Structure 1
Amino acid sequence: MYADRIYIANDCIFLEDWTISDLIGKHRSRPYNLLIANTFFRVGFIEAWGRGIEKIKDSCKEAGNPMPEDTIKHEDVMVMFKSLVSSTDQGTNQAGDRANDNSIVTRILKVPQEEPALSQKKIADVIVEKHSAVKYCMESMKKSGIIKREGSSQKGKWIIL
């Protein structure tokens, strides 16, 4: 994990001639670890084999997030997700760029304008997102100078810079 990106990697065995296009396109699924794959399938995390990357990209697009970048080698696949908030963005430009979208960052920024004393957990409840996602985004926004917390976690308030 980095301030502006996160990498997720997994060991696997690809055919010699596979490319990123093969992985991203329609293909037959051959799970590397059948026990883990079947466990995820049984608990409902997998609805159909071979759709994981497609679902990830659809979710990113729906949420207004940047598309992940894939790297494959013969023995592994790595996916880089760019942060919703770039550490080089200025707060005013960031807010202006996101004024017309419904991304998690935009929804987070609207809450402290009306109720600056809410906790991250309460903000997550208001925008109907997971607390961990809101916490991650708000930490990124604090590091980027978009928001700051003034006062304690119990009696403080959020300031949009």
Structure 2
Amino acid sequence: GNPWDLPVEQRPALFEPCGEIPIEAIEETVGSPVRLDEGLRNHEPGDLFTCGWKNDELLFGVISTWKTKRALIGDRGFGSVDTESTVSGRPGFRASDEGREEDTCYQAFFTSRGAVLVNVNLRTSLRTFRGERPWTACDVLDEVIEPVVPYIPGGDY
């Protein structure tokens, strides 16, 4: 059945991005070496996993949580939200941080192991990526997300 219909304590284990996405996939994705950012690694059992990798130009983050689609879409921290966004044929939504639409972008998937949000934050004031400028974070996310999608659990809900 649908794990989202179960009480949280009976749902499958949340997706653990630091352990389930190899750093090589992130490096392939961004086209350069990255380092794990321990400050972005977070685990709240049964509720949240976060992981982030960075280089000089961007921060690539992955969040997993059992927050519902409605709760995430309604998050006041988000600016624009596109509820019809798809990646590799997988439905979800796309959003940016309020006031930072050019610098941040999230793609959310609702999977058998929780909501998984892939996030790009541009780190330079000139919004460079691969030495070129200017980029928006959502354009960068479109460029880099494909190699990571196979590691995101299936069972889109």
**Larger helix fraction of residues:** 1
Asked if Structure 1 and Structure 2 have the same fold, meaning a TM-score greater than 0.5 normalized by the shorter chain, the answer is no
Q: Report which of the two has the higher share of strand.
A: 2
Tell me the TM-score normalised to structure 2 length. Answer: 0.24
TM-score normalised according to structure 1 size: 0.24
Structure ID, larger Rg: 1
